[in-house]
Structure 1
Amino acid sequence: MPTPTTPLVDHIVILIPYSFLSAPPSWFADLFHFYPGGRHSDGLTENTLVLLADGSYLEFIAFVPGADPAKRAAHQWGGKKEGTVVDWAVTLRCPSTPPSVKEEAKFLEQEKHFHEIQEKVRDAKAGIVYGDLRRGGRTRPDGKVLKWAVAFPKHDDGSPVEPGTVPFWCLDVTARNLRVPYTTPRATKHPIGAVGVAKIEILPENRKTVESAGVVYDTILDTKETAETGESWKIRNLFGESVHSGGIVHLDTSNKPARVNISFFTNDLRLVGKSVGGKVDEDHILMFHLVAAFDDKV
């Protein structure tokens, strides 16, 4: 059972061209059931969501047309290639409290647990630490205002960590079901049968980064898995136990530029072992591997 300080997969961030939001190619539209997202409060990015049955989700994010080039360059994902997994986030379980407890009070309880984790990572002396939580939000198309707080990793000297090397944190200030409305009828039913994230494969460019990231994972994730190459850890989800056998984080050195690969659990046995996706541009293809929801081999 997850404790109040157990990291849970919150979401995977995938950068796409804006045209994939306004006029998606058929191969992309046929992968998932998309849930409306919205424009972020900074005005630079817009998203659409894919809600998964284990309580996590995919955020397909795009920079809006006409975005200020300088502001885009300063954005943590501004230099990333469209059609790639650019980052991922973990969260904490919302405290079980009476309905009378205000949302802000629930968030402050989560914030306290985050500070415990933040201190634990700092004490591990990995060369990577987590910054403090900062508030953010966006407005849904229906006018609902969503609020959350995020904390990003950084090196000891304050320089940024390559996005996706270790997760950032995303904690809800308003009710989670406003940001992740996974209880909406059929919202988690997808053409490829995806029910959750099976594997997050992180492949930094250099060995030193792998070593630092490994210390962070040893600190925040409580179960290490045997791996033929690299290192692996189990990762929990909000409702994963009821829909799949549990995901893993795998860390290894890349023989190419740093990247993050994602595999999904599927409940469609016809698609087990297959990869799905399509062309993003002339030079890049976005692909996802599918594994059985209750198969240990991910």
Structure 2
Amino acid sequence: MAPSTNCLDHIIYLTPPGSVTETAEEFRQLGFNVLAGGQHEDGLTENSLVILGDGVYLELISFVKPLEAYPHGSPERSARENHRWAAKAPGWIDYAFLRYSSETVRIPDIINDRAVAGGDEVLYGDGTAGGRTRIDGQILKWIVTFPRLSAEGRRPPIPFFCEDVTPRDLRVPSLDTEHPCSVQGIAFLHLRVPLEKLDELARSFDYIIGRSSIHYEWQLSTDKSIAGHSCRLLLSVSDTKVLEISEVAFYVKDKPPADTIQTTYGKIRFVVL
């Protein structure tokens, strides 16, 4: 049996350089438990984590330093300038699915074969090694596979894939999943794109996730299920030229003071179980 290609792993929330501590405190004030993460092995970014009961986590991430902190012409400045998130505005910027592979099967190959069979270009390139060191010194290793750049030199807003080399429970510890705000897991991830990109992107999601029976809506799986409730990816038309994650919705047990809140850089919606 072919491995699942629709398992949501984590969602990334970017804030300005050096702001991880402040962002972690903001999410704590919203009722989320936040774990210290660590610095990525390239030394450019650092993070904190919010682990949810469904096994998905939020990665609260920022660059360690602003671009101007690196000398002109230095390798460090070049790496900072060319980082895949260097041009991203703060907010919900990216998301990852779990990647699996064996000696004979790799998820990117499955998806690329579907795209070619559908008359389109392949969606994913080769995987690259990544990792970070936790604040307790534990070294984490993984392989990430990113979408291929478009003709305009941009990455389409489809998920990248992450496969653990070290055990996943080191990267995603099942700690502090009982949050004061009673959040249980992800209800949906909502993307908005310009009208002229809508059908092209929908076709890509069909290749990645599988063809949906509901227009512009796809069912996702998670590492741990929430009985009777599904995780979804929603796609709708934006009134701007920006391709963006417009909001992330969470299942909660208790009715919150407000169904929708605006963080400093993003939108959150709560759905009562």
Could you tell me the TM-score, scaled by structure 2's length? 0.85
Whether the aligned pair in 2 keeps the contact of 1:30 and 1:191 (CA below 8 Å) is no
Question: Which residue pairs with 1:188 in the alignment?
Answer: 177
Aligned length: 263
Question: Which residue pairs with 1:87 in the alignment?
Answer: 94
1:52-67 map, 5 Å: 52-67=52-67
Question: Which residue pairs with 2:106 in the alignment?
Answer: 112
Aligned-residue offset at 1:241: 3.6
Whether the aligned pair in 1 keeps the contact of 2:126 and 2:145 (CA below 8 Å) is yes
Whether the aligned pair in 2 keeps the contact of 1:193 and 1:268 (CA below 8 Å) is yes
Question: Which residue pairs with 2:8 in the alignment?
Answer: 9
User: Does 2:194 align with 1:205?
Assistant: yes
Whether the aligned pair in 2 keeps the contact of 1:132 and 1:151 (CA below 8 Å) is yes
The amino acid of 1:275's aligned partner reads T
State the distance in 2 between where 1:193 and 1:24 align. 20
State the distance in 2 between where 1:168 and 1:110 align. 21
Unaligned runs of 5+ in 2: 71-76
The amino acid of 2:254's aligned partner reads L
Instruction: Please list the CA deviations of residues 21-69 of structure 1 after superposition, one character each: whole Å capped at 9, or x if unmatched.
Output: 2334854331211111111111111011110111111111101125535
State the distance in 1 between where 2:60 and 2:103 align. 29
User: Does 2:272 align with 1:286?
Assistant: no
The structure 2 residue matched to 1:167, chosen from 159, 172, 187, is 159
State the distance in 2 between where 1:114 and 1:258 align. 23
State the distance in 2 between where 1:28 and 1:268 align. 18
1:1-298 map, 5 Å: 4-24=3-23, 27-31=26-30, 32-67=32-67, 68=70, 70-82=78-90, 84-92=91-99, 108=102, 112-127=106-121, 129-155=123-149, 159-162=153-156, 165-182=157-174, 184=175, 187-207=176-196, 209-222=197-210, 224-227=212-215, 231-242=216-227, 245-256=229-240, 257-271=242-256, 274-278=259-263, 280=264, 285-293=265-273
Whether the aligned pair in 2 keeps the contact of 1:126 and 1:212 (CA below 8 Å) is no
Aligned-residue offset at 1:109: 5.1
User: For the structure 1 residues 202 and 66, does the alpha-carbon distance in structure 2 shift closer, same or farther, using more than 3 Å as the test?
Assistant: closer
Aligned-residue offset at 1:275: 1.3
Could you tell me the TM-score, scaled by structure 1's length? 0.78
SS at structure 2 position matched to 1:48: strand
Whether the aligned pair in 1 keeps the contact of 2:13 and 2:59 (CA below 8 Å) is yes
Aligned-residue offset at 1:200: 1.2
State the distance in 2 between where 1:56 and 1:25 align. 17
User: For the structure 1 residues 17 and 110, does the alpha-carbon distance in structure 2 shift closer, same or farther, using more than 3 Å as the test?
Assistant: farther
SS at structure 2 position matched to 1:174: coil
Give the share of equivalent positions with the same residue, in percent.
Answer: 29
User: For the structure 1 residues 267 and 24, does the alpha-carbon distance in structure 2 shift closer, same or farther, using more than 3 Å as the test?
Assistant: closer
Instruction: Please list the CA deviations of residues 71-125 of structure 1 after superposition, one character each: whole Å capped at 9, or x if unmatched.
Output: 333111111112x1111110146xxxxxxxxxxxxx6459634422333234333
Higher mean C-alpha deviation, range 15-24 or range 169-178: 15-24
Aligned-residue offset at 1:261: 2.4
Whether the aligned pair in 2 keeps the contact of 1:199 and 1:264 (CA below 8 Å) is yes
